[in-house]
């Protein structure tokens, strides 16, 4: 079909959408799509296309994505914020409706899987106009599986309301390596059982509305290389992998997760082929995941444009063929590849299938899994959404209230020398803020005499540091925000320069909680585990005494603080006390209903 005609049809269709849409979140009809019959109607070209999840630039359907859906028969699309696919909820709903209209105009009209990475916290694509969440490690710090369930359920509801039916979450990696450059706070923590418990709760929450995707199999938590930039290697025995990395994935499989994403990591204990990423390993994807662990759901690769796989085995098209041969059902592509390059990947897999390099039976099994999950989530009946319904499901008062409650419960008071916190500022005292993220509008309602230097870069220049020091000299108390300082030496230099002023100083870590390793003698230190608005607000409220710190470290800070450490204030303005919170302790401020519903993970 002519691309221009297809786009025109989408524009017309968007005007008369009410004629063929179903109410959002209507119960799936009793009619179940006959996936086997549909599979038999498909050509090989259409089958291979179903295995492609493609990306494009643009906030509305255009010629590029129309080509991928119609020429390459793409069965899935991934949306990103950087590519302007996801701008706000209403725009996203119109986009997803347009994409589904393009798919509906194909020969068989199979609906699309439309995915995004909405993990919460530092990895979230839909933020403007949607609920922001504190993220996985913040959830781990609360120890409440009910919070993981609630956050996932509400996130899934918001995604489905805008037409996104697959979430590439939750992250099931066990972050046992403090130097991990790519996982960190995306993980629930370093304890395998904690990750398994929180992940299981999230899976159930997501899958009330959208497909959940556990990642990154067989576990990306013990790496010190970013797989976007290179190939990490995990040199651990099979026994050690069984005790740590595989625990959350086994639990996820038992809980019925519908999709698992592969990791671009080399694990010699599972496959000793030199430089072979797990994504391309048949012993790992088919031997371990399918056969040993009994997983029957979708296997989707991580982005095939990442250096951890793209730089090996002759480029993305050849790597994609090898991933399918290994057992992947869906090849994940992104706008990092042009439309022509993505079509080349599709053609490479198609040619391998035609030559018998990928067995026809394997292609059929993969496509049948894809069709079945599309039917399970009612996409044949309810592929479209009504933008008018968005206010009922996105950024609702209940969602915003729950998000804020979780963020407040996550803030972890790690150090409080001489009971510096909560701050007891006199009206004439000057508070100076030096932070990666602006806090002044949140602080000023509490204290008017506040000045801020907001440097908005992970490695401030020497001139930035000097300016911060000069401002700090005129202040009575300092509030400093850091962001992965252990990996950014100029941040460490800034904090140490401020320490030399010998003023009362509070440091808040707005991503990984390990920053205090670089400046262990700061007087007061909190972990917020993220920089979303709710985490910033909760951290400020805690510093100034309006929120009791309840979080417990879900990781060890090597040489300083153990897993489970967390201080509390004795009262709003009384001395702080150290307290290893009992695993089953209820929040003093929770309602009786909340206390009955919330279950802690003691692991």
Residues labelled catalytic: 228, 302
Q: Is the CB of residue 180 less than 8 Å from the CB of residue 225?
A: no
Structure token pair of residue 167: 């979430």
Phi-psi region of 34 (alpha: psi -120 to 50; beta: other; left: phi over 0): beta
Q: Is the CB of residue 551 less than 8 Å from the CB of residue 185?
A: no
Structure token pair of residue 248: 């959350």
Buried b (16+ CB within 10 A) or exposed e, 177-195: bbebbbbbbbbbbbbbebb
Please report where in the chains the tokens 């090996």 appear, as a residue: 312
Rounded Cα–Cα distance for residues 173 and 184 (Å) = 9
Rounded Cα–Cα distance for residues 524 and 416 (Å) = 4
Rounded Cα–Cα distance for residues 147 and 153 (Å) = 10
Q: Is the CB of residue 479 less than 8 Å from the CB of residue 543?
A: yes
Q: Which helix (H) or strand (E) holds 524?
A: strand 524-527
Please report where in the chains the tokens 């009994």 appear, as a residue: 294
What would you measure as the largest C-alpha separation in the chain, in angstroms?
79
Q: Which helix (H) or strand (E) holds 371?
A: helix 360-376
Structure token pair of residue 385: 């959404």
Quick one: which of 536, 475, 534, 479 has its CA closest to 505? 479
Sign, CA dihedral 307-309-313-315, equals negative
Q: What one-character-per-residue DSSP string does 226-238 give?
A: -TTTS--B----H
Q: 3-state SS of 124-138?
A: CCCCCCCCCCCCHHH
Q: Is the CB of residue 71 less than 8 Å from the CB of residue 111?
A: no
Rounded Cα–Cα distance for residues 294 and 286 (Å) = 10
Which residues are CB-neighbours of 479 under 8 A, at least 6 positions away?
431, 432, 433, 434, 435, 439, 443, 505, 506, 508, 543
Burial class (CB in 10 A: 0-12, 13-18, 19+), 408: buried
Structure token pair of residue 541: 């409220």
Residue 478: strand pairing partners:
432, 505
Omega prior to 386 cis, within 30 of 0 = no
Rounded Cα–Cα distance for residues 88 and 96 (Å) = 12
Quick one: which of 170, 183, 152, 150 has its CA closest to 511? 183
Q: What one-character DSSP code corresponds to residue 588?
A: T
């Amino acid at each position: 079909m002519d691309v221009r005609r297809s786009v025109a049809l989408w524009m017309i269709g968007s005007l008369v959408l009410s004629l063929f849409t179903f109410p959002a979140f209507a119960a799936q009809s009793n009619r179940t799509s006959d996936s086997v019959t549909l599979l038999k109607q498909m050509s090989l070209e259409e089958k291979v296309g179903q295995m492609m999840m493609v990306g494009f630039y643009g906030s509305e359907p255009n010629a590029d994505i129309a080509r991928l859906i119609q020429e390459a028969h793409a069965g899935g699309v991934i949306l990103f914020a950087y590519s302007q696919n996801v701008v706000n909820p209403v725009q996203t709903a119109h986009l997803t409706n347009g994409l589904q209209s393009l798919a509906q105009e194909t020969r068989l009209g199979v609906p699309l899987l439309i995915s995004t990475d909405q993990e919460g916290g530092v990895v979230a694509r839909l933020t403007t106009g949607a609920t922001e969440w504190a993220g996985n490690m913040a959830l781990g710090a609360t120890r409440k599986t009910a919070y993981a369930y609630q956050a996932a359920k509400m996130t899934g509801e918001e995604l489905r309301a805008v037409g996104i039916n697959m979430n590439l979450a939750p992250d099931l990696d066990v972050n046992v390596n403090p130097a991990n450059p790519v996982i960190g706070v995306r993980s629930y923590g370093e304890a395998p059982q904690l990750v398994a418990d929180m992940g299981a709760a999230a899976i159930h929450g997501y899958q009330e509305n959208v497909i959940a995707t556990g990642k990154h199999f067989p576990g990306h938590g013990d790496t010190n290389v970013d797989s976007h930039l290179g190939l990490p290697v995990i040199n651990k025995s099979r026994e050690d992998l069984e005790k740590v990395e595989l625990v959350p994935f086994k639990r996820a499989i038992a809980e019925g997760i519908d999709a698992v994403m592969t990791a671009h990591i080399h694990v010699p204990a599972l496959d000793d082929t030199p430089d072979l990423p797990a994504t391309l390993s048949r012993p790992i994807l088919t031997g371990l995941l399918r056969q040993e662990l009994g997983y029957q759901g979708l296997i989707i690769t991580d982005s095939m444009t990442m250096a951890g796989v793209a730089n090996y085995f002759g480029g993305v098209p050849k790597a994609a063929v090898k991933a399918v041969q290994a057992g992947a059902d869906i090849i994940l592509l992104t706008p990092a590849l042009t439309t022509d390059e993505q079509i080349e990947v599709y053609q490479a897999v198609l040619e391998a299938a035609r030559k018998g390099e990928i067995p026809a039976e394997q292609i059929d099994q993969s496509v049948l899994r894809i069709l079945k999950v599309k039917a399970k989530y009612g996409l044949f009946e309810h592929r479209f959404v009504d933008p008018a319904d968005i206010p009922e499901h996105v950024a609702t008062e209940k969602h915003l209230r729950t998000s804020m409650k979780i963020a407040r419960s996550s803030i972890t008071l790690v150090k409080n020398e001489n009971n510096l916190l909560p701050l007891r500022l006199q009206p004439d005292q000057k508070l100076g803020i030096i932070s990666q993220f602006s806090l002044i509008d949140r602080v000023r309602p509490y204290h008017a005499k506040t000045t801020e230097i907001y440097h908005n870069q992970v490695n401030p220049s020497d001139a930035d540091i000097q300016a911060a020091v000069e401002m700090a000299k005129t202040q009575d108390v300092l509030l400093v925000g850091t962001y992965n300082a252990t990996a950014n030496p100029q941040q460490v230099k800034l904090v140490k320069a401020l320490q030399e002023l010998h003023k009362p100083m509070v440091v808040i870590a707005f991503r990984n909680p390990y920053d205090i390793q670089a400046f262990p003698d700061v007087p007061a230190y909190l972990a917020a585990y993220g920089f979303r608005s709710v985490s910033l607000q909760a951290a400020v409220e805690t510093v100034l005494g309006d929120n009791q710190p309840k979080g417990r470290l879900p990781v060890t800070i090597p040489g300083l603080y153990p897993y489970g450490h967390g201080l509390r204030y004795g009262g709003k303005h009384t001395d702080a006390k150290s307290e290893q919170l009992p695993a089953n302790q209820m929040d003093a401020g929770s309602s009786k209903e909340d206390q009955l519903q919330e279950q802690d993970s003691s692991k």
